[in-house]
Chain A
Amino acid sequence: ETGVTQSPTHLIKTRGQQVTLRCSSQSGHNTVSWYQQALGQGPQFIFQYYREEENGRGNFPPRFSGLQFPNYSSELNVNALELDDSALYLCASSLPGEETQYFGPGTRLLVL
Chain B
Amino acid sequence: QKEVEQNSGPLSVPEGAIASLNCTYSDRGSQSFFWYRQYSGKSPELIMSIYSNGDKEDGRFTAQLNKASQYVSLLIRDSQPSDSATYLCAVILSGGYNKLIFGAGTRLAVHP
Bound Cα distance from A105 to B104, whole angstroms: 19
Interface of A is mostly: strand
Complex partner residue of B98 from A33, A35, A40, A58, CB under 8 angstroms: A33
Pair A105/B43 contact, Cβ less than 8 Å? yes
Given contacts A90-B43, A99-B92, A106-B43, contact A42 B104 (CB under 8 A): yes
Nearest to A88 among chain B residues (CB) is B43
Contacts of B32 in A (CB 8 A): 99
Decide if B104 touches A45 in the complex (CB within 8 Å). Answer: no
Number of interface residues of B (CB under 8 A): 23
Complex Cα gap A92–B90 (Å) = 13
Interchain CB contact under 8 A, B100 and A33: yes
Question: Does the CB pair B97–A43 fall under 8 Å?
Answer: no
Q: In the complex, how many residues of chain A place their beta carbon closer than 8 angstroms to a beta carbon of chain B? A: 25
- Given the complex, which residues of A lie within 8 Å of B99, measured CB to CB? 33, 45, 48, 56, 58
Chain B residue nearest to A105 (CB atoms) is B43
Q: What's the Cα separation between A58 and B99 when bound, in Å?
A: 9
Does chain B have a CB within 8 A of A94? yes
Whether the pair A100, B104 counts as a contact (CB closer than 8 A) is no
The smallest beta-carbon distance between B19 and chain A, in angstroms, is 19
| A100 and B34 contact, Cβ closer than 8 Å, known pairs A33-B100, A48-B97 | yes
Contact digits for A57-95, partner B, Cβ 8 Å, 1 yes 0 no? 010000000000000000000000000000010101010
In the complex, whether A41 has a CB less than 8 A from a CB of chain B is yes
Chain A's nearest CB lies how many Å from the CB of B101? 7
Q: Does A101 contact B (CB under 8 A)?
A: yes
CA–CA, A111 to B4, complex, Å? Answer: 28
Decide if A90 touches B44 in the complex (CB within 8 Å). yes
What are the residues of chain B within 8 A of A45 when measuring CB–CB? 99-101
Report which B residues bind A (CB closer than 8 A): 4, 32, 34, 36, 42-46, 49, 88, 90, 92, 96-105
